[in-house]
Structure 1
Amino acid sequence: MTITVGIRCDAGPRTGVGHLVRCVALAEELVAHGVAVHFLSDLGGLAWAHAQLEQRGLPWHPAPYDEVGLVAAAARLGLDALVTDSYELPPRHAAAVRATGRTVLTIVDGELRGQPADIYVDQNLDAELAVPDLPPGAIRLAGLDYALLRAAVRERRPAAARGASAARTPKVVAFFGGTDAYRAAPVIGRLLVATGAAFDAVVVAADRGLRDELRAVAPGAGQRLRVIGPTDELPALLADADLAVSASGTSTWELLCLGLPSALVRVVDNQIIGYERTIAHGLAAGLGHLPALRVPSAEADAAAAVLRDLLTDPAARTALGARAWAAVDGRGAERVARALLAAIRSGTDARRTAVAALERSVVAAQNWDYEGWQAMHAANKTPSR
């Protein structure tokens, strides 16, 4: 019998696409194991988000309004389990599904946010060092060993850490999520130009306004600044790059898996811990907090200096890339999928045992022969005493 899993996550202009991207990574792995996956999501009208599901043949259903609707959807779709990944979803939604006997897996970033689950996944660096209180019987998969990465990234992971080439102008890829809600692309474009170093950069701009602003940035001698819109070719671009510049978010683990030297900018407050830990471990270079980089300042000068050093020092890029490559092996989605499937099968067996025990007690109370009752029940007949 086919196992069916529902994924409850959202995307949008302000929410971004990070929750969706890591859920797509898990969905890909589940499908590879023969699981049917359904997304129950508000995609915020983002064409790129819709395309990620359509291209992979992943069914999409509008997000249920409340817990009653979510339980109804779980019953209608025949879900064996539910995956949730949201900062906004009220805990009562997952609780209602879990109360039906279905397995619940919740993806978190640090705080559990009161979400009830059988399995918690926290893919962040050093997450395994925390020991939060879990519901009885729940397990927690924590740390970079459980980073959920898309197949398009995993397939491009090099067999070994790669060296940096001193023979070519460094290729740079700068991107800031599917929506770049905080308008980071033009800021980084200007910082790259301010380095005075040679580079060949592709900057992903999420909308026309960002693209127009970037095209107004005038590169210097030896500098090339190409501006493109959101693209599914980003993993391929990154695999051929010498340096990536990105917001410190879920994409960080993709960059590490690829062994790509990276410079990160902290865009929002919930990125503080991940940003600081990644920099402290020497897995990426830090550019600082985005608001401080928008105008001429000491912070902006320091960020430009960091970029200049990376652009002009192949040895520094090689060392940074080697540490990054060793940190993430790309098998996180596989580990999470196997844990979820084991929990589903265990839960299914437990539910069947409980149902059989209940049936036996009812049959015994009526003084019926249990085996005879089973045979008659299967034939849709009324058993007699």
Structure 2
Amino acid sequence: MTILVRADASPELGSGHVVRCANLVQRLRDAGELVVLAASEITPAVVEWLQAQDVRVSRVPPLTEVVEDAASCLRLGLSPDLVIVDHYELDSQWELVMRSSGATIVVIDDLANRPHDCDVLIDPSPVEDPRVRYEGLVPQDARLFLGPAFALLREDFLRPDLARERDGTIERVLVFLGGGVTSDQVLTVLQAIELLEGPPLQVVILLGYSFQDPGPVHDFAVGRDWLSVVGVTEDVPALMSWADLAIGSCGGASWERCALGLPALAVVTAGNQVGNATGLTVAGAAVVLGRISETSVETWARSLRVLVGDPVQVRAMSSAALRLTSGRVTARLELADALGRQPSL
């Protein structure tokens, strides 16, 4: 089997689209199968990460016209059996062109704002009546896999020994805001943590693949024994398991946190996260402060004080997070069956 993936990653976009495609591929592929990611935007760090997973990266021209983008992918000459697309600017026009290859078309989406011509659609958004959102947007015979149980997580996030229900005490905090945020926004969070009374929290800040200006964060950490800075690591599941609270975005990392029972103080760092923010709030798995651009040192400090002083709420958030992503094993079996593959469990 040959698998073609179409997704982009950049400092503005972050790497979430590529990551969830790669996670799906690793579930489905057999040894020796060719996997190619076609990208018009991608950072060197993400390319290196993909190559380590035996995913080949091919560049296509900047996306200016949907049909031409699909034609550029076909000109790669792959004859794919499976096409996976995760891109907010591509829709049924792109997918219709790709059907000429005879491939099964899999769409990953969370906006439900445009039509798709696909065989399978995956949307992990935690919304009420998720099927209603796609009425009239997908073929009647398309198979839909909807809700957080279908979040495309790396295998390590599914380890039962790393998932735990917190007791509500906050002593260790993981800060991971993802791509698309500035060093000033990260420093605002760290300055707020420093204002907290009582014994200092132990804090790890994870910058990730797409963070563009780490210098000021590293400078801030000098002389502060309570703070550790991590650039890129494969040990994110272990870090999330270690932490009592996360400070993060409402992007794809939300489901990683939930799978491990990690409560969160969260912000919206991109427009496509608004639906997730609402779902996390309604479920009680996170306290969402709104858009990161609207926060301040005082906002963060005030919210942190409330959570540190309310272990009952934090414990309830942890339980709610675990419930949101329950049913993952059944979900993986259903998705693998739809694609005619033997799942890795």
Partners in 1 of 2:282 and 2:336 — Cα distance?
A: 30
| Contact in 2 for aligned 1:282/1:323 (Cα 8 Å) | yes
1:336 and 2:335 aligned:
yes
> 1:209 is paired with a residue of what secondary structure?
coil
> 2:265 is paired with a residue of what secondary structure?
strand
Aligned with residue 12 of structure 2, among 14, 18, 30 = 14
Superposition deviation, residue 208 in structure 1: 6.8
Q: Which amino acid aligns with 1:267?
A: T
Superposition deviation, residue 173 in structure 1: 0.7
The answer for the alignment partner of 1:266 in structure 2 is: 268
Pairs aligned (count): 327
| Contact in 2 for aligned 1:17/1:179 (Cα 8 Å) | no
Partners in 2 of 1:145 and 1:192 — Cα distance?
A: 32
Partners in 2 of 1:184 and 1:54 — Cα distance?
A: 31
Superposition deviation, residue 87 in structure 1: 1.1
Structure with more of its chain in helix, by fraction: 1
The answer for the alignment partner of 1:59 in structure 2 is: 56
- Which deviates the most, 309-318 or 263-272? 309-318
| Contact in 2 for aligned 1:123/1:142 (Cα 8 Å) | yes
| Contact in 2 for aligned 1:174/1:204 (Cα 8 Å) | yes
Partners in 1 of 2:15 and 2:305 — Cα distance?
A: 30
Q: 1:219 to 1:187 in 2, by over 3 A?
A: farther
Superposition deviation, residue 302 in structure 1: 4.4
1:311 and 2:315 aligned:
no
Superposition deviation, residue 214 in structure 1: 6.1
Partners in 2 of 1:119 and 1:281 — Cα distance?
A: 27
Q: Which amino acid aligns with 1:237?
A: L
Partners in 1 of 2:44 and 2:128 — Cα distance?
A: 33
- Structural mapping, 1:130-279, within 5 Å: 130-131=131-132, 132=134, 133=136, 134-155=138-159, 158=162, 161-164=164-167, 166=169, 170-178=171-179, 180=181, 184-197=185-198, 198-205=200-207, 207=211, 209-213=213-217, 215-216=219-220, 224-279=226-281
Superposition deviation, residue 213 in structure 1: 4.4
Look at both structures and tell me which one has the larger radius of gyration over its CA atoms.
1
1:289 and 2:291 aligned:
yes
Partners in 2 of 1:288 and 1:52 — Cα distance?
A: 31
Q: Which amino acid aligns with 1:204?
A: L
Q: 1:209 to 1:81 in 2, by over 3 A?
A: closer
> 1:99 is paired with a residue of what secondary structure?
helix
Partners in 2 of 1:128 and 1:191 — Cα distance?
A: 38
Superposition deviation, residue 245 in structure 1: 0.8
Partners in 2 of 1:82 and 1:208 — Cα distance?
A: 31
| Contact in 1 for aligned 2:162/2:237 (Cα 8 Å) | no
> 1:113 is paired with a residue of what secondary structure?
coil
TM-score norm. by structure 1 comes to 0.76
Q: Which amino acid aligns with 1:145?
A: A
Q: 1:288 to 1:195 in 2, by over 3 A?
A: farther
Root mean square deviation, CA, Å:
2.8
Q: 1:165 to 1:111 in 2, by over 3 A?
A: closer
Partners in 2 of 1:337 and 1:165 — Cα distance?
A: 36
Unaligned runs of 5+ in 1: 295-299, 343-385
Unaligned runs of 5+ in 2: 62-67
> 2:213 is paired with a residue of what secondary structure?
helix
Superposition deviation, residue 100 in structure 1: 3.7
Partners in 2 of 1:245 and 1:311 — Cα distance?
A: 13
| Contact in 1 for aligned 2:11/2:212 (Cα 8 Å) | no
Percent of aligned positions that are identical: 25
1:93-128 per-position Cα deviation (integer Å, ceiling 9, x unaligned): 221111343211111113252332121111111264
Superposition deviation, residue 310 in structure 1: 2.4
1:283-322 per-position Cα deviation (integer Å, ceiling 9, x unaligned): 112223211214xxxxx54442221232344443222111
Partners in 2 of 1:36 and 1:129 — Cα distance?
A: 33
The answer for the alignment partner of 1:348 in structure 2 is: none
| Contact in 2 for aligned 1:157/1:257 (Cα 8 Å) | no
Partners in 2 of 1:157 and 1:4 — Cα distance?
A: 34
| Contact in 2 for aligned 1:185/1:205 (Cα 8 Å) | no
1:173-209 per-position Cα deviation (integer Å, ceiling 9, x unaligned): 1012245368632222122223335311011235573
| Contact in 2 for aligned 1:244/1:262 (Cα 8 Å) | yes
The answer for the alignment partner of 1:96 in structure 2 is: 97
The answer for the alignment partner of 1:4 in structure 2 is: 2
| Contact in 2 for aligned 1:103/1:118 (Cα 8 Å) | yes
1:360-381 per-position Cα deviation (integer Å, ceiling 9, x unaligned): xxxxxxxxxxxxxxxxxxxxxx
> 1:164 is paired with a residue of what secondary structure?
coil
Partners in 1 of 2:245 and 2:207 — Cα distance?
A: 17
> 2:152 is paired with a residue of what secondary structure?
coil
